[in-house]
A and B are shown apart, each in its own frame.
Chain A
């Protein structure tokens, strides 16, 4: 069974992300026309049309598009199985993340925030901790995109190269980092996130409540795990520790983390 829709697949080579902005620098834009079907004969939403992203990124490669797009994860919704189910991705990305993006658009319409880059909205509405209404949707839209890109199929395991060296430097060993990241994720009371972040030439583990992220705390996010219950409840129910282990052992994209570290170091030194 073939999907009747013709999907325009745009290949954008994503460079390392800057801390406060997601950069999409287009190298060789290649537009492919293809019919798509996955093994169940269903059109995968991750190949959906993103033409507005193309025109935006052609104009400027710095600011995040003001259109607050619901970007699909860089893999099919079933690609993380059995560690994170397709059903979870369908709800988590397809409902929760989508709602943050849609509600943010509605919320900033007609206000001074309308049309502003996402990171600008996040910082403005964080308001030094006295959160303004749009913060939740804005930060959660950002956090979730960052989360999908923190994972990959057949991920996990140990990092290598400079990232490993820095983890060993700042945590004494990879195992100690693993423990600390695990503990942060497990002990974040209620909803929130755990992060590996970079600031002042040092790596650290941070945990944040609800929608808060390291951007507003003055550090560069490198890796995150969502510990809101909706992130793991369908697959793990109350067993958050099992979810965290599975994430670390099978899902983390160390390539993404390394690329972000490079960008963070570049951004740090250029502003130093």
Chain B
């Protein structure tokens, strides 16, 4: 598998020279862009290599960079006790942190056809889907319809409600992670319906993107998560 040149930053956050500053140092973690487990072009023709490269190297990287910046600013605001500053940073953290979380899941939700992309789920997830949605086709239809109906930017999700022990389909706006729709929701499959996820290839025809993306959905990963959460 080719090694992609991926920008990664491993910097110690906030560490400055003076020892007096170390007293307040909290050692916040810095996040980095995760590698894709496949080549940019490996999901073609469902998703073009051009889109995958820009989506990963530009969009996701920007979320990571801005998330790190926001965390650094948050750290400083918290140490100074500036409540207004802390509150003001929440939207940047939600947006960029959410973007990082969501995209990290998304890359795992996709797989090249020759690595199982598009293969229907078997095992307990497969049965659960049939139980809750009648069939995989039923689930796909529902998610595609809800994904197409998202106004503006957002995501459509298949999630597991851990508490109620049932599968749910839901959407989130912008980069809100699924957990913002319910604390017990675990994302199994997320599909990015921001225009940047499909525009260069599908232009305004989001339903066409949603029709084709299922050919590269990695149900193996979704099953792993499902089985882990159910035990």
Contact = CB atoms under 8 A, between A and B. Distances in A.
Interface of A: 91, 95-96, 99, 136, 189-192, 209-211, 228-230, 233-234, 237-238
B183 interface: no
Given A229-B196, A238-B196, A209 B152 contact: yes
B204 A228 contact: no
B152 A230 contact: no
Contacts of A136: 151
B54 A229 contact: no
Contact of B194 (A99, A229, A234, A237): A229
A190 B152 contact: yes
B145 interface: no
B133 interface: no
B200 A237 contact: yes
Contacts of A237: 54, 58, 196, 200
A233 B196 CA distance: 7
Interchain residue pairs A-B with the least CB separation, the first 8: A191-B152, A229-B195, A190-B153, A210-B152, A190-B174, A238-B58, A95-B204, A233-B199
18 contacts: A91-B204, A136-B151, A189-B91, A190-B175, A190-B194, A191-B153, A192-B152, A210-B152, A211-B151, A229-B153, A229-B194, A230-B195, A233-B195, A233-B199, A237-B54, A237-B196, A238-B62, A238-B196
A230 B200 CA distance: 9
Interface string B8-21: 00000000000000
A168 B181 CA distance: 44
Nearest to A87: B203
Given A189-B91, A191-B153, A192-B152, A230 B58 contact: no
Contact of B174 (A95, A189, A233, A234): A189
A174 B200 CA distance: 35
Q: Chain B CB within 10 Å — which of A192, A209, A229, A230 has the most?
A: A229
Nearest to A140: B151
Interface in B180-215: 194-196, 199-200, 203-204
A139 B154 CA distance: 19
B221 interface: no
A234 B196 contact: no
A251 to B, nearest CB: 20
B173 interface: yes
B59 interface: yes
A234 B200 contact: yes
A191 B200 CA distance: 17
A91 B99 CA distance: 27
B95 interface: yes
A190 B91 CA distance: 12
Contacts of A211: 151-152
Contacts of B203: 91, 95
